[in-house]
Structure 1
Amino acid sequence: MHLIDVTNSYRELVHSQLNTTNVNYVKVYSLGNTSVIYTESDDAIEIVLENHNRRVRKEEIDFIIERLIKEEAPAYTLISDKNQRVIEIHVDK
């Protein structure tokens, strides 16, 4: 799996997130057909995985957790829609 930084292609999304929420940092990645939006604030890290064509696979979730959450054994919460096409990973700091 390859995680590709595509933040420059989503300038409006990044600008909107930074101006309308309390986040300090926004990155957008591509993981094949799955889009990954990483946001970080003073209180938490939010990672959203979204795939319009199929369910987000467990391997993709595990890969993102391993690559983007650096701390050892962090406590995180997974939230998904009923079709598992949108997955949210929430980490309290």
Structure 2
Amino acid sequence: MNPQILDFLLSLLLTAAGLVIGFLGGRLRAKVNRDRREEEAIRGGVRCLLREELIRICDRCLERGSVRIHSLESLDDLLKQYTALGGNGAVRKLVEDVKRLEVK
């Protein structure tokens, strides 16, 4: 075969391979970004649910004026996960208030 034809075919093949790799890389990057946004949304949603449950338990205990031992354990576990997900210290104050209540 003519060397010029081989050079042309090789050049064409390399160009096509570059285009395919570029296309696949772009698709992969888009998927990674989409997955990252989805994960952040899930983390934010879980953090909100943990916050609501922490507040609900704290409000119930503060209204009652006492706390049960299992509620304290739940509060500790929930607060640990809430904090790990980036929850702020406002809920921590509520939990501290509950921990000062009489344990029943």
Please indicate the TM-score interval, normalised by the length of the shorter structure. Answer: under 0.3
Relative to the length of structure 1, the TM-score reads: 0.26
Structure having greater relative contact order (Cα 8 Å, sep ≥ 6): 2
Higher relative strand content: 1
> Based on CA coordinates, which of the two structures has the bigger radius of gyration?
2
